[in-house]
Amino acid sequence: MQENSRNMQENSLQELYVEQLRDLYNAEQQLVKALPKMAKAAQSEGLRQGIAAHLEQTKGHVDRLQQIFSAMDESPKGKKCAGMEGLVEEGEEVIKEHSSGGVLDAGLIGAAQRVEHYEIAAYGTVRSFAELLGENQAVDLLQQTLEEEKETDEKLTELSKEINTQALSSAQSEETEDEQQEEETSRPPQSQRTRRTARARSAHA
């Protein structure tokens, strides 16, 4: 009886494990399509190169997941990752709403790190499931991807230190320009000021 109960629990965990892997597979497929747009929008060469490098990594993550599904004789398709869909949409909003270099890049890094944190949590979960289920080959493959996701997050954090400072300087510069334009707009035209000065002098004379 206990053995039957354990088998049922393992089967339930196996189903959840496959479901979570399919969710991740779809998430990675969405990223393969989204990352080129983010790289194109990036103003910083360092950020652009970082996103391009992660795109190649992401393709490798897809390959690893395919290996895991092949070993289980399961299809990777059939699941839509709503979480990644929302994160990708947020990244697209950043591109639409911000045009200045520093601020845009800071927003892109924020969007990219939200994606990384989501994936780190997801890969950590499926790796733990694989370990419990005795899927040793999958554990190794998932651990490799998990480490790469963490490394990417660390690189983005390093990039953000410089880019966020640039974003702040850019915003302050724009505020100064706006203030100068407001002052110029509020001043009377030069010809009017000249005529007023001339009238004042004639009145004193």
Gyration radius of the chain over CA positions = 27
Q: Which residues constitute the domain of residue 40?
A: 2-169
In a domain, 132, yes or no: yes
CB proximity list for 109: less than 8 A, separation 6 or greater: 47, 156, 159, 160, 163, 164
Residue 57 has pLDDT above 70, yes or no: yes
Classify residue 178: in a domain, yes or no. Answer: no
- Whether 83 maps to a domain, the answer reads yes
Could you give the 3-state DSSP secondary structure of residue 120?
Answer: helix
> Domain for residue 194, yes or no?
no
In this predicted structure, what is the pLDDT of residue 11?
77
The answer to whether residue 103 is domain-embedded is yes
Please count the residues of the chain: 205
Decide if 175 is inside a domain. no
Q: Are 65 and 8 in contact (CB under 8 A)?
A: no
What percentage of the chain has pLDDT greater than the value 90?
Answer: 69
d(CA 107, CA 103): 6
In a domain, 180, yes or no: no
CATH number assigned to the domain comprising residue 14: 1.20.1260.10
> Do the domain assignments include residue 86?
yes
Q: Report the domain count for the chain.
A: 1
The pLDDT of 179-203, averaged and rounded, is 53
Residue 196 has pLDDT above 50, yes or no: yes
Mean pLDDT of all residues in 69-98: 94
